[in-house]
A and B are shown apart, each in its own frame.
Chain A
Amino acid sequence: MASQSRRTPLERIEYILIVSTLLLLVVFTLQPLLNLLALSFTEPSRVAGFSGLSIIPDGFSLEVWSLLLQHPNVQRGLFNSIWMTATSVTIGVLGTALMAWGLSRPGLPGRRLIFIAVLVTIVFEPGIIPDYFLMKRLGLLNTPWAVIMYKVISAWYLIILVRFFEEIPKELLEAAELDGANPFQTFFLVVLPLARSALATIALFYLVLHWNEFFRSMIYLNDQTKWPLQVVLRQFVIEGDRVAIVGAANASGNIGAAQINIRALKAGMIFITILPILAIYPLILKFFTKGTMSGALKG
């Protein structure tokens, strides 16, 4: 850059200050997570004295991870989270795309009315008690479906997809019609392939939403064996129920659990819960950033 050479010492100090401030924010963001990661790999005997400031494991041990991953509550939670999230995302993407396609057709009779009806659901939410009684009435209480169907089609993501479908060039659709495609064929064979990146964005939105959902599981699912990972984590880390992990581990013959410092177990548990998010984080950065830049506020 040409201006680089013209920089005065003052400007250089300013730049260093700006970069340092942002790097401080990076440390503030990442240090707590790295500390917990290091803690989860620390030698069990040294966990007690492990500093909250350190980000390097003191000694190295896989005991916490192997214990947690073999733990029935964790395994079940992981299994529930994965299949419930996958089901929600699949139903959600398909349902949202189908509805958005209809809503994006300009001449559709009743289009305006449906739009208003959808917007009303954003503005007016009657609250958790009516929702709870709806689940009761539908017979879905204490079944995973009460959680899977929660926000399975999001009004916000629907509107994003309608916007996208409206931009599809008319010529492409007319060409398909001329070739004798019926509306279903046009949708599945022409529109969906064109919308791949938009659908991927929506799928990621839904994936993060459903993976992180805990409140509905908490109020709808009495039976602990149906809990997703977030609720298992909550019981252990937030409610401080040691028995949830340590007690059951002892009962199943893992005597080591009681000896490992509870801090390290909690740290490992937090990391198991965010591992899937970390795994798809590069994709999230790619699609979310694009999606947000082009107009999605909620997410």
Chain B
Amino acid sequence: MVAKDGQKVADVLSDGNVPGSLEVLRERVLNKRSGAASVQDWRAKLRQWWPYYAMMAPGLLFFFIWHYVPIWEAKMAFEQVRIIPPNIWVGLKNFQQLFASPIFYQVLANTLIISAMKIAFVFPVPIIVALLLNEIRNGKLRGTIQSAIYLPHFLSWVVIAGVFIAILSPTDGAVGQIQQAMGFGAPSNYLTNPASIRWVLVISEIWRSAGWDSLLYLAAIFAIDPQLYEAAEIDGANRWQKIWHVTIPGIVPTIATLFILNMGLFLSADLNQVINFQNDVNASTIDILDTYVYRLGLSTGEYALATAAGLFKAVIGMVLIVTSHLVSKRLTGKGVW
């Protein structure tokens, strides 16, 4: 969530300034009365609110079963899985085995490298796109460009990987043909080359999200007070001076928020993307934590070890997201939610 929305949820959570706070206060006063009276209150409340709980029941049930029961299932990380139940509690043994395995560190390093590359090379692109789009005063032209560049965001990674396999085909792909026409020699297969596959991840991510993500920055740019531009014009500022002194300072909070949020997702590196670009040859360079968990658990059947690796990612991920939320809140007033 961006901007004021984040604040609203926080307001609700902080229990002050809520429209219902008067009721809360009254309820607290009432609670100090005798036990019999509070049972009565409780009954009155139930009579008033049961329809709302009835309406929320399917949702609450869904969240409980689909999101909370798995947390309990994750205790498998501390067990030895046996074919005939019950499993045996083994404490941290699975984690010890995980942290002793060289593959785990390879996978962790891949995840961090891919995330770092994406932050360095993907993150700035939509900012530049938004700045350029903002310079186009012809609404029709801008609208047409926007409709075109938003499209890939709505395609699945299976489709996008399929498109990139076609583009990068050494025999008839567009990249190879351009390369040959410009005299850069015979095209190699970038999808099976461990040296280039991470760049394929970076570029396909740009293809997918550079357009759509620019919308967030464009929204921030449109919210800048037009008087600031008028004042700059009176001072004789040219296009680039206006961008540098008005537009960019105006979107710095949005940039900061999104940057910090991206840091919160550092251990993810996008399973849905990687799993469609992975093959036997490049696996060692783009095997990330999530694909490792998937292979270890669902292909090899090492359930306990895979759960431990997944839990490791979940816990560090949680720390990262909560920290980034708090930092973002502190610096820009906007949080993740």
Contact = CB atoms under 8 A, between A and B. Distances in A.
Asked if A pairs with B, the answer is yes
A23 interface: yes
Give the 8 A-B CB pairs with smallest separation, nearest first.
A127-B310, A99-B59, A106-B20, A212-B156, A52-B174, A130-B73, A102-B56, A183-B51
Contacts of A131: 70, 73
B29 interface: no
A284 interface: yes
A115 B13 contact: yes
B9 interface: yes
A270 B162 contact: yes
Interface stretch (A64-72, A244-252, A285-293): A285-293
B269 interface: no
A289 B239 contact: no
A50 B67 CA distance: 49
Interface string A80-118: 000000000000000110110111011111011011111
Contacts of A152: 62, 66
Contacts of A96: 59
A22 B132 contact: yes
A197 interface: no
B60 A19 contact: no
Given A126-B310, A184-B55, A19 B149 contact: no
Interface in A138-162: 138, 149-150, 152-153, 155-156, 158-160
Given A53-B177, A126-B314, A296-B2, 9 more contacts: A29-B211, A31-B174, A36-B166, A52-B172, A52-B173, A109-B49, A127-B314, A134-B65, A238-B162
Contacts of A31: 174
B163 A128 contact: no
A230 to B, nearest CB: 5
Contacts of A149: 62, 66
Interface of A: 1, 11, 14-15, 18-19, 21-23, 25-26, 28-33, 35-36, 49-53, 95-96, 98-99, 101-103, 105-109, 111-112, 114-119, 121-134, 137-138, 149-150, 152-153, 155-156, 158-160, 163, 166, 182-184, 187, 208, 211-215, 219, 230-231, 233-234, 237-238, 263, 266-267, 269-270, 273-274, 277, 281, 284-285, 288-289, 292-293, 295-297
Interface in B206-238: 207, 210-211, 215-216, 219, 238
A208 B153 CA distance: 10
B12 A112 contact: yes
Given A123-B321, A273-B159, A102 B55 contact: yes
Interface string B1-36: 111110011001101001110010000000000000
Q: Is the interface of B mostly helix, strand, loop or mixed?
A: helix
A123 B318 contact: yes
B129 A105 contact: no
27 contacts: A18-B135, A26-B149, A32-B163, A35-B174, A36-B163, A49-B172, A52-B175, A52-B176, A52-B177, A96-B59, A105-B52, A107-B23, A119-B337, A122-B321, A126-B311, A127-B74, A127-B314, A129-B297, A152-B62, A158-B59, A159-B9, A214-B158, A233-B158, A234-B276, A238-B161, A270-B163, A273-B156
B154 A106 contact: no
Contacts of A212: 154-157, 159
A108 B52 contact: yes
B63 A129 contact: no
Nearest to A236: B162
A52 to B, nearest CB: 4
B331 interface: no
B141 A19 contact: yes
Contact of B158 (A98, A156, A234): A234
B166 A29 contact: no
B109 interface: no
Given A19-B136, A153-B62, A274-B155, A124 B318 contact: yes
Contacts of B1: 156, 159-160, 295-297
Contacts of B276: 234, 238
A295 B317 CA distance: 24
Given A102-B53, A163-B8, A133 B73 contact: yes
A297 B216 contact: yes
